[in-house]
């Protein structure tokens, strides 16, 4: 390519480069300065109805993650929340062993060791300042299977932080998990997942980089 040819090419793409240069801070800002929230602490409870009547709860406080809230309707949450399944506690040691090893098979790999919620969209929320109740939908990775989930959430302020309460039903067989049965007592196929999170605004990426 001759020098003249280079100059001609430059003349052609210069407007596009200029536009790109003008836009790049905005694009960078959109990615980095979306309001983000980091999980300070939380609890996940799974309410398991028994085939003989009554229920028991399995719970863990090992939930972590950071999500960004992009304005829009419905508001979309980037990022994900991860729950360490090896810490689930049913209150009974033998039941813990069965749950983790026989049914959730947490030792099979990363996609079995954690449950991950991602792609969450809050129906009624338009901005990160939304407070109140809303339906939500998202994707849950559990037992190596990704499936859509939907439920109800409540978001409220607690000082500078935000409390999120969410619940959704989950069908065990949707995730390829064997029906929990032990000596004539089992867990029904549909369980309720209840999440309580306290999240705090996380510094934006651009701010954190300074």
Partner 1 sequence: MKGRLAILAGVALLAAAAPGNAEPIFLARQYARCTTCHFSPTGGGLLTPYGRSLTREELSTMGRGHSTAPAADASGEQAFLFGLLGNRLGKLSLGIDLRPGRLEVAFPGGNDDRNLLMNAEITAAFRARGWTVYGELGRQPQREEDARVDSFEHWVGYESQKGLGFRAGRFLPAYGIRFSDHTAFNRKPLGLDTSDQVYGLELSHTGDRHLVQLTASPGRADSIIDNDGTRAFVGAARVQFDLSTRTVLVASGLFHGESDVNPSDGSAGLAFGFSPIRRLTIWTEGDAQFQQGSSGAPSYVLVNETSFEVFRGIWLKVSPQLRTSLGDTSGGTFRWAFELNLLPRTHWNVDLSHYRDKGRSNDVVVKTTLLQLHLYL
Looking at 86-94, 133-141, 143-151, 198-206, which segment touches partner 1 (CB under 8 A)? 86-94
**Separation CA 1–CA 161 (nearest Å):** 59
Per CB under 8 A, does 53 bind partner 1? yes
Rank residues 30 and 182 by Cβ distance to partner 1 and give the closer one.
182
Residues 16, 41 contacting (CB under 8 angstroms): no
Dihedral sign of CA atoms 128, 130, 132, 138 in order: negative
In which residue are the tokens 């449950």 written? 115
Per CB under 8 A, does 1 bind partner 1? no
Per CB under 8 A, does 57 bind partner 1? yes
Q: Which residues fall within 8 angstroms of residue 92, CB to CB, at 6 or more apart?
A: none
Beta strands, E only, 73-173: 75-84, 114-122, 132-142, 145-158, 161-171
> What is the SS3 assignment for 16?
helix
- Of the candidates 2, 52, 160, 210, which one interacts with partner 1 according to CB under 8 A? 52
Looking at 22-30, 32-40, 54-62, 130-138, which segment touches partner 1 (CB under 8 A)? 54-62
Dihedral sign of CA atoms 143, 148, 152, 154 in order: positive
Per CB under 8 A, does 103 bind partner 1? no
Q: x/- site string to partner 1, residues 148 to 177, per CB under 8 A?
A: ------------------------------
In which residue are the tokens 């959430």 written? 153
Q: Least Å distance between CB 93 and partner 1?
A: 7
- Of the candidates 9, 27, 50, 145, which one interacts with partner 1 according to CB under 8 A? 50
Interface with partner 1 (CB under 8 A): 47, 49-57, 90-94, 182-185, 188
């Amino acid at each position: 390519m001759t020098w003249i040819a280079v100059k001609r090419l430059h003349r052609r793409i210069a407007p596009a480069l200029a536009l790109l240069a003008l836009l790049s801070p905005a694009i960078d800002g959109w990615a980095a300065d979306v309001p983000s929230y980091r999980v300070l602490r939380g609890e996940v409870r799974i309410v398991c109805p028994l085939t003989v009547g009554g229920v028991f709860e399995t719970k863990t406080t090992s939930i972590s993650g950071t999500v960004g809230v992009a304005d829009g309707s419905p508001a979309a949450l980037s990022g994900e929340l991860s729950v360490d399944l090896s810490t689930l506690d049913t209150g009974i040691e033998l039941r813990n062993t069965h749950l983790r090893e026989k049914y959730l098979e947490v030792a099979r790999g990363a996609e079995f060791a954690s449950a991950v919620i991602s792609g969450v969209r809050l129906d009624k929320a338009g901005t990160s300042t939304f407070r109140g109740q809303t339906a939500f939908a998202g994707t849950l990775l559990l037992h190596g299977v990704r499936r859509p989930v939907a439920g109800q959430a409540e978001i409220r302020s607690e000082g500078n932080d935000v409390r999120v309460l969410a619940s959704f039903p989950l069908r065990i067989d949707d995730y390829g998990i064997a029906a929990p049965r032990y000596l004539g007592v089992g867990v029904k196929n549909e369980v309720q997942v209840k999440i309580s999170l306290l999240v705090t605004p996380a510094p934006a990426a651009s701010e954190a980089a300074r």
